[in-house]
Structure 1
């Protein structure tokens, strides 16, 4: 029996140490310091002991309490709620039970001389804390074995424990338990040992001090937040730094943590006007008049205008309906058809003067070439045409009736075009001049006389009237 008890105790200790991992996920160790009480009475033995659990809570009569620190335990978490605990305890035994007094209903406490009590025990316990979903109440059951000495006589025991811990914080709690010890030798009585103590958990590593232990910390060397598994969110915008494009400035999730201060949907880093709501098309800048030119670049921010004019509407300084950009006479009201310039027509006297000169144009007989003395006449006409650069004219050629009508028609056309060509060659815009020949069809005198025929051989200048 003695060898069996020793073997059992060795097996329990070996199995326990070989499977240890952590006290809990974060604090692998715990130490408990407290006091214990030994009760030999309610263990089902003959007098002076009672049946199992008989007067279990009779502290005064049956409990042997050592009035000092008398228990120390060291625990290490195994896994999945299992913990191994090694306990050392000491006590003094002076109560072993109760003895009935013959002839009365009374009993007296059975005592012995002070016996020394030492215990060294190991147990594996299972916590129900997760099953009851509690953060502070921690009930458990344990089984194990140990060796107990009473007055230097020892024996192995098989132990069963029931207890609970109450955690005041993550690392500090109180432990209360009751253990039944079944001795393998007759000279050591079976008994209960109760204990209460202060529990301190330790051994967890939190390198960055953020309250999240390294084994659960995705950023163990950088203080962070629990919601990000220990990784930081420097700007407190709810986006951890590793996923934040702007980790030092609070921003929005839709912009990967970058800010949009004016709320216009353009990130500040891309917004040319980060403090004023604007348009995406204008890189976050406003356009008050909606002309497509940002207010900062718009010389007329409250009046729509083209970008080519810096956001201002094109002016029409002279109010003639032609914008200055298209108006060749922007400071003088004119005609739309004449590019904003006024159409200044010569007077009837000026036209009469032109025709006076035109009648003095002399051609070689039967030809469209000018006589030498005609050059001065044509130059005088050029001067008048240049005085009215916006007036348009027709140059008409006429002949007498001498010769065939067809010949006269062609001659009149050639002579009209000869005058037109001369004027163009001397600086008159071709678009202002047209030429036409009428042959002998429009005489102004009788062709029966020499003088009449001379009058009919002529060049006329007519003003083309502008349409109102």
Structure 2
């Protein structure tokens, strides 16, 4: 038994090398642990090798080939412990290479008995599996035949052998099997070799396959080895479950149609949603999937008149002239007030209108020596505001004037404040401040003499002019 440790170390070394190189195929490696039996009897009657056909006591050591092949009690030498370890590598096309180490003790030489002889063997085998031929891939019934060679030591005397092998495995799961094997070992050494049969039984475990993403498909056959997937897509995923694998799916998160590379067409207009600017409303390809009800080339969402054809310049609406002044609304700055073409559709302020405005402005009165408008002037100011509203495109300038009494600087300041007071009042009546300006001119622009009370009264005035 002193070689037991050596055999186990050698077997573990073979297994370790196998594991280190087993990461590129689907479970190409297998490890077997079991027991073996050695039988020297059913090998043919001859005196070749170390053992004669008959012992000195007349006991038959060898019988005809396969004679009493299953005589376990009388002829088989079995060590009552683990006595075989083997590691196998799938080569391809049904062929497997196996390296095996066995140990035993021989005390049955056919019908004779002897002192215990130690038995060690290291063998290499090439076997062919009929599993796929009989069952198809993955079947449970796995018969094999093979050939090989090795080296055997009996009582520390070694000799080479040529081996013929037949066996069968029963696969309980994908990776576990029970194995039975019978090997005929022909000894090359005529003087000290021993022809014999070696039978074995054991448990086999396949290993070495790698499934990085854990989807049940080994990396070797998995086209997406780092992402869990489906067998029908060679291990690649179909996240949205639309029958189109993610690699070929332009919309992998949303179920879609094959004709659109996996993208949906929610509104059924024949334009996939990613290219459809209006994915929930059926539309036209020319409008990027959006509708154009009036056919004016403007999508309904951008068309202010979706049911009436109109130019894009008018936001999809037909041109109108609501005020009937001959200027289309699109060009009319005052579309609701009749005007002139020259004034872009807005009414023009005439001389007569300005005269009317100034007739009202002359009646505006202020508190003595102040810019506060007197209440009796409010109606005149309202009339001024009403006229200005009729000319929304016109801008007006409010002028303040005084007579000559008092200093020039005082009169100038007072006229500015009064003009500003009138402008402010008009803004409270709806005239935009942007249409109004004001300025005071003091006593610099008299319209009458300041030598008479009547003339001075005319010079104390507010005037309105048209700002060009």
How far apart, CA to CA, are the structure 2 residues paired with 1:292 and 1:168? 71
How far apart, CA to CA, are the structure 1 residues paired with 2:188 and 2:179? 28
How big is each residue's C-alpha offset from its partner over 1:212-258, in whole Å with a ceiling of 9 and x where there is no partner? Answer: 33343333333333333333333232223232211222211110111
Per-residue deviation at 1:151?
2.1
How far apart, CA to CA, are the structure 2 residues paired with 1:273 and 1:255? 16
Q: What's the counterpart of residue 250 of structure 1?
A: 255
Unmatched 5+ stretches in structure 1: 1-16, 99-109, 315-323, 329-468
Please show how residues 1-16 of structure 1 align to structure 2 within 5 Å: none
Per-residue deviation at 1:95?
2.3
Native 8 Å contact 1:22 1:79 kept in 2: no
Q: Secondary structure at the match of 1:257?
A: coil
Q: What's the counterpart of residue 170 of structure 2?
A: 166
Greater mean deviation of Cα atoms: 154-163 or 40-49: 40-49
Per-residue deviation at 1:293?
9.7
Corresponding residue to 1:175 among 176, 179, 184:
179
Q: What's the counterpart of residue 97 of structure 2?
A: 84
TM-score (norm 2): 0.52
Corresponding residue to 2:229 among 204, 224, 229:
224
Q: What's the counterpart of residue 127 of structure 1?
A: 129
Residue 61 of structure 1 pairs with residue 79 of structure 2: no
Q: What's the counterpart of residue 33 of structure 2?
A: 33
How big is each residue's C-alpha offset from its partner over 1:128-150, in whole Å with a ceiling of 9 and x where there is no partner? Answer: 23333342233221111112222
How far apart, CA to CA, are the structure 1 residues paired with 2:220 and 2:193? 46
Native 8 Å contact 1:23 1:83 kept in 2: no
Residue 48 of structure 1 pairs with residue 61 of structure 2: yes
Q: What's the counterpart of residue 211 of structure 2?
A: 206
Per-residue deviation at 1:71?
0.4
How big is each residue's C-alpha offset from its partner over 1:175-210, in whole Å with a ceiling of 9 and x where there is no partner? Answer: 221100112234343111111112222223333333
Q: How many residues align?
A: 286
Per-residue deviation at 1:159?
0.7
How far apart, CA to CA, are the structure 2 residues paired with 1:23 and 1:183? 37
Q: Which has the larger radius of gyration?
A: 1
How far apart, CA to CA, are the structure 2 residues paired with 1:38 and 1:182? 13
Corresponding residue to 1:94 among 81, 84, 107:
107
TM-score (norm 1): 0.52
How far apart, CA to CA, are the structure 2 residues paired with 1:148 and 1:23? 32
Per-residue deviation at 1:87?
0.7
Per-residue deviation at 1:292?
10
How big is each residue's C-alpha offset from its partner over 1:150-185, in whole Å with a ceiling of 9 and x where there is no partner? Answer: 222222211110112233333322222110011223
Please show how residues 41-440 of structure 1 align to structure 2 within 5 Å: 41-45=41-45, 46=53, 47-98=60-111, 110-132=112-134, 133-136=136-139, 137-185=141-189, 186-271=191-276, 274-275=279-280, 306-308=308-310
Q: What's the counterpart of residue 448 of structure 2?
A: none
Native 8 Å contact 2:169 2:179 kept in 1: yes
Q: What's the counterpart of residue 102 of structure 1?
A: none
How far apart, CA to CA, are the structure 2 residues paired with 1:54 and 1:207? 52
Native 8 Å contact 1:23 1:29 kept in 2: no
| Change in CA separation of 1:72 and 1:280 when aligned onto 2, cut-off 3 Å | same
Per-residue deviation at 1:34?
1.0
Native 8 Å contact 1:218 1:229 kept in 2: yes
How far apart, CA to CA, are the structure 2 residues paired with 1:270 and 1:307? 26
Per-residue deviation at 1:89?
0.8
How big is each residue's C-alpha offset from its partner over 1:84-115, in whole Å with a ceiling of 9 and x where there is no partner? Answer: 211111122222223xxxxxxxxxxx332332
How far apart, CA to CA, are the structure 1 residues paired with 2:223 and 2:64? 57
| Change in CA separation of 1:288 and 1:175 when aligned onto 2, cut-off 3 Å | farther
| Change in CA separation of 1:57 and 1:261 when aligned onto 2, cut-off 3 Å | farther
Q: What's the counterpart of residue 457 of structure 2?
A: none
Per-residue deviation at 1:282?
6.5
How far apart, CA to CA, are the structure 1 residues paired with 2:65 and 2:281? 84
Q: Secondary structure at the match of 1:41?
A: coil
Unmatched 5+ stretches in structure 2: 1-16, 46-52, 54-59, 312-316, 325-468
Native 8 Å contact 1:23 1:30 kept in 2: no
